[in-house]
Amino acid sequence: MKAISFDEKTRVFSLRTNNSVYQMQVRDYNTLIHLYYGADVGDCEVDYRIVMLDRGFSGNPYEAGDDRTFSLDVLPQEYSGYGNGDYRINAMECEHEDGSDAIALRYLRHEIKPGKYALEGLPAMFAREADEATTLDITLADAASGLQVHLLYGVFPKLDVITRAVRVLNAGEKVVKIKRAMSMAMDFPNMHMDMIHFYGRHAMERQMERMPLHHGVALVESKRGTSSHQHNPFVILCDHNASERSGSCYGFALAYSGNFRCEVEVDQIDQTRLVMGIHPYHFTFGLRPGETFETPEVIMAYSEHGLGGLSRLYHDAYRSNLIRSRYVTSPRPILVNNWEATYFQFDDEKLFSIAKEAKDLGLDMFVLDDGWFGKRDTDCSGLGDWTVNEQKLSGGLKRLVDRVHGLGLKFGLWVEPEMVSEDSELYRQHPDWVLRVPGRLMSRSRYQLNLDITRKEVRDHVMDQICGIIEECGIDYIKWDMNRSVDNVYSAALSADRQGEVFHRYVLGVYEMMERLVTQFPNLLFENCSGGGGRFDAGMLYYSPQIWCSDNTDARDRLTIQYGTSFGYPISTMGAHVSACPNHQTGCTTPFETRAVVASAGTFGFELDLTRMTAEEKAQAREQIRRYREIEPLVLCGDYYRLTGPYEKKNYIVWQFVSKDKRETAVCGVMLHGEANPHIHLIDLDGLLPQARYQDLDSGRVYSGAALMKAGLPLPIARGDCQPILFRFKRVDGE
């Protein structure tokens, strides 16, 4: 069956992936009505779901004449506008020159095209081959203003993913101000679902929260100019009884790294509407006749196989059709980062001594974090001055890079391109290059200000400096940090009536800078970071294959942070390092082995002073590296199963990687506490072939896949807190 079809007679659109169907219908008065999204329903149009009733206080469009059953206030719509008789949360709001704000969107035409639509200057999923995806472009028009709204759908049948975005064209003759243009809206016929979202704070990101939908509006949002530590732009709606292994689950991921809003409203008759897109706060975008505006993309997936099934769809889709980096599935260099080892206190000899130890341990890369440039001895100064601090690095950065390269290690470098310190040469020379509201005192954060990267000359100045250093020194990896929320939102370069564009233009500026980086240096390994995981979103993954997951490196806290992150993002995207104990963020102590097992569920590395490790710790580290290399292909390319979670009141948290060919599996986790007179904890594995035989690589014992999945595997008996769990099995039946 075709990925996208339109029945001329019934005017029903059907979008199909291997296991899901999406339907909508052009109905009376050319309104586009949403019919269904969910499990495959065979070759059947489900317009019978729409039941027309006359409801009090739910009015009718004029075109409906005396038909009091046709009300936009209750019909499920594909993309609705305000001022149009629909009192629910709508997808679009505009302001016209005469001060009115109504918008009535009606079907005009559509086009079905091979391949995947692209968005200008915005991240989006792509099709490597034209037959991987099909695009549907439906034009809705507001007759009175001439505004045309293109609803864009990208259907990826094999991935079970449908993307949505909106392109607005002012085909009228007057300026229209867009005040809200969400990337998508979706109506569900009932409210019998839970909403799962991922909230948090700096150093404690993406904590999973699950709650039943309720009448009124549930929302997650960011107004911080970034997708934020506080809420993640990824939301799941699922059956009340959906579990890891079963139940109906919908995922909505916004590929955008700025202000966002996801609103879920349950209406008067228990219908649910979800809208997602750029946050309308401080957002207006003026469109002159002929101008267009594109929203970011929402990546939707549906799974009948529970939360685990949904996560695996996202992991596969992002690895194959979102992350562009050539490193996406290839082994990443195992690195040591000097941040927690030295903070700002280092010189080239100290750094080189860490690099030498790294070489001795078998690591692949040394990463120089914050503090190598300008007058940067604390976090009070220096940002914006991307020239090497030769007092710390005698002979310059290139000399150090050459010495590290001489060891046979790669060299990585930290930068924070969007920022400037008040105490910096850049700020002294260009005080107007920051975001600052005229006549008001600025809000400060970590002594740094947001550069006004809505301005091209600012972007170019910073990127010229940074790219020059990468080029000159032969840098192999960049960690791009961003350490404050965006504030003082006003650009001296934009007129008063365009200030509502600043937040969005800031994000477009970030994307343009990152695009330059990845285009100019296609072999560079690029890691994103915003004070850890403050910008962990699908948009960033379009540019970088990995993101520093959190500034919290405590293995115990990482269990919930990485667990939450795994719902919407591939494991290979989470930067995870073994750090020193007592942990610098929490003061807690966990065994070295446990820190390594937890960091192995991500892009593995070390973040401690290697020169201070004991001989015994070094021997352990060598073994950790060896073991990580063994399971790395599973981490990068395999299927991931959350066997238990941190909210289950169990004494263990266990996850499992299975290779796509089901020949190898690794079972990893942590026993939280030692028990007196202990229980025997049996864990059921997942994702194996029941009839195949798997050998435990440590004990040599052979099990059937069915036994491991149905009869369970006894977890180790723990002595002490936070003990590591690690089993590796290989298929040995010769098949």
Active-site residues, by number, are 537, 617
Nearer to ligand DGJ, 414 or 606 (CB): 414
Residue 708, helix vs strand vs coil:
helix
Tell me how far apart the alpha carbons of residues 22 and 36 are, in angstroms, rounded to a whole number: 5
Q: How many CB atoms lie within 10 A of CB 13?
A: 23
What are the residues facing 516 on neighbouring strands?
none
Instruction: Supply angle C-alpha 58, 62, 65, rounded to 5.
Output: 95
Q: What is the largest CA-CA distance in the chain?
A: 86
183 φ, ψ to 5°? -75, -25
**CA neighbours closer than 13 Å in the CB half-sphere of residue 440:** 11
Instruction: Kindly give the pairing relationship between strand 12-16 and strand 4-7.
Output: antiparallel
Binding site for ligand DGJ (CB under 6 A): 339, 369-370, 414, 481, 483, 529, 531-532, 548, 551
Residues belonging to the chain: 735
Minimum CB distance to ligand DGJ smaller for 178 or for 525 = 525
Using CB positions, name the residue nearest to ligand DGJ: 370
Q: Rounded to the nearest whole angstrom, what is the least distance from the CB of residue 483 to ligand DGJ in the complex?
A: 5
**3-state DSSP helix/strand/coil percent for the chain, to nearest 5?**
25, 35, 45
Q: Which tokens belong to 511?
A: 């994307």
How far apart CA 489 and CA 451 sit, in angstroms, is: 11
Identity of the residue numbered 622: R
Question: What angle, rounded to 10 degrees, do the helices at 456-473 and 397-406 form?
Answer: 40
CA-to-CA distance for 297 and 319, rounded, in angstroms? 17
Instruction: Of 333, 287, 261, 272, give the one whose Cα is nearest residue 149.
Output: 287
CB of 414 to ligand DGJ, least distance (A): 6
366: tokens are: 């040394």
Q: How far apart are CA 237 and CA 214, in angstroms?
A: 13
Torsion of CA 292, 296, 301, 307, to 10 degrees: -160
Distance CA(354)–CA(373), nearest Å, equals 19
